[in-house]
Structure 1
């Protein structure tokens, strides 16, 4: 989890922030404006980038802040600019939309938009990452080359979860969704995940992360009973409100290479049962960040790793 500092690497290379000069041979660029009292708009920054850098050699873009926090400026502003210049980026295969850290804007206040046009317009994309769930949309789409899809939210809308699950992504090998909490828009329903867990649309998937959910126990049950789970090598169910109720569903997943459960509320007894059942079969098990619930007015309070 890296939401408190900007990415230093993405899409297999280091990230270079664009200021005012080209750096020949740079495949991955970061573009973002100041959150408060910026000297230029994102569009002005974008125009300078286009006239300064040889964009035909750009392999990946990391998009940071695109407007003043709370101004209502959605990522559609960036998406429209990128789509209008699509022919200038023939080598683009990686895109991170929303490398915005906590001191700039809370993750659940990042104003996203419909990201479907990115997949429809850039058929060569192999990696797409998005941070922020507010106003996020993704409609069912087919993309032949996408291999990695990550969506990080404090609350992922039901329509966006369903859009991912109903998309045909034959090359996708890694999928990570931060499902989040209902309070911040995570209103997904179990039926939204059904097409994903059936696996028919994701024949190449080997790494699945369904993370950061306030319903992590139910997620564990759904995944453990799914058709796709037997095809996975790595399963990431971390960052959520995972208790013994969910942990018991994972005891039979001995075929996995990796099972990541860090940030959890599992009892010591359940942790020991998981170690006995899985580590003895060669599963690399991450049980870091064992937590105890906080208490308010005598009642236990459980929390995800990321919400607001």
Structure 2
């Protein structure tokens, strides 16, 4: 699987590319996306100039949802200057509730090539943010900090470093309902293990959490086994282990969990489990998405499973 399409909806609003010749026309009804396409690149348009026009628009203070798309064709251009520009415009962004940082398809830039930076300043600059989704983990940094209103936090990557995961789990988000981490492959930045999630699975973090997504993981079986016996199942409504390498071992552990039936939904799509095991799991849960079954590659008797998003 690759990310082949840009967002069409975000923050409950349709996404439209920002046209700097028209400005912000419908701040309450559109989630504006600032990006450069290939024609812009060829014409020499600078992302910083388009972003400056957006952030300087007189209607910026009315914008509720904002999407940052592709900002540079060169792989050595990170997000630091973009974050700095947002922070400098923070007085006019106090009403912003939803931010997607990195709506970039594989044709624009592979997820492992997206260069991020320290996103920590966004939390202080945007105190009314409800949703923050960030795509790309190369260069990504995060300092543990509080945010009073954040409800959805997602880090999409082909390989999420353990230091970023530790920082995310150490943040104080009392209103957080949706936590989504794409863990990825060890060839693209993942360097952790299931012990990273001990406190999370013990139910010690994020008291209002309803959705937990530990997605795109090459250790999906280990995570499933840990979750099957974990207190977190007592209070979340949706568990998302999709896009990873989940197989019979992990599915069987979930099926045998006495708490699994309390979930409203379990998502394991893109998995490597047998039909027999997924049917047994379906009988144990209220709703199961077990679509996109995969077959492992076999070479010299060794099985190889792959996450959905890596490079």
Identify which of 138, 142, 153 aligns with 1:138: 142
The answer for unaligned runs of 5 or more in structure 2 is none
Q: d(CA) in 2 for partners of 1:201 and 1:236?
A: 17
Change in Cα spacing, 1:38 to 1:294, as seen in structure 2 (3 Å) is farther
Equivalence for 1:301: 304
Contact kept in structure 2, 1:266 and 1:290, CA below 8 Å: yes
Equivalence for 1:22: 23
Aligned partner of residue 245 in structure 1, secondary structure: helix
Contact kept in structure 1, 2:151 and 2:175, CA below 8 Å: yes
Kindly provide the CA deviation profile for residues 44-100 of structure 1, in whole angstroms up to 9, marking residues without a partner as x.
111222344510111111001112232x11111210110011111121111000001
Aligned partner of residue 63 in structure 1, secondary structure: strand
The answer for unaligned runs of 5 or more in structure 1 is none
Count of aligned positions = 303
Equivalence for 2:97: 93
Aligned partner of residue 162 in structure 1, secondary structure: helix
Contact kept in structure 1, 2:2 and 2:106, CA below 8 Å: no
Equivalence for 1:254: 261
Identify which of 39, 46, 51 aligns with 1:41: 46
TM-superposed deviation, 1:117: 1.2
TM-score normalised to structure 1 length: 0.93
The equivalences for 1:87-166 within 5 A come to 87-166=91-170
Aligned partner of residue 103 in structure 2, secondary structure: coil
Aligned partner of residue 96 in structure 2, secondary structure: coil
TM-score normalised to structure 2 length: 0.93
Change in Cα spacing, 1:2 to 1:125, as seen in structure 2 (3 Å) is farther
Kindly provide the CA deviation profile for residues 83-129 of structure 1, in whole angstroms up to 9, marking residues without a partner as x.
01111112111100000101000001100111111112211100000
Equivalence for 2:289: 286
Contact kept in structure 1, 2:137 and 2:159, CA below 8 Å: yes
TM-superposed deviation, 1:284: 0.5
Equivalence for 2:68: 63
Identify which of 245, 263, 279 aligns with 2:270: 263
Q: d(CA) in 2 for partners of 1:76 and 1:192?
A: 27
Change in Cα spacing, 1:37 to 1:298, as seen in structure 2 (3 Å) is farther
TM-superposed deviation, 1:167: 1.2
Contact kept in structure 2, 1:69 and 1:105, CA below 8 Å: no
Equivalence for 2:198: 194
Aligned partner of residue 215 in structure 2, secondary structure: strand
Contact kept in structure 2, 1:241 and 1:304, CA below 8 Å: yes
TM-superposed deviation, 1:297: 4.6
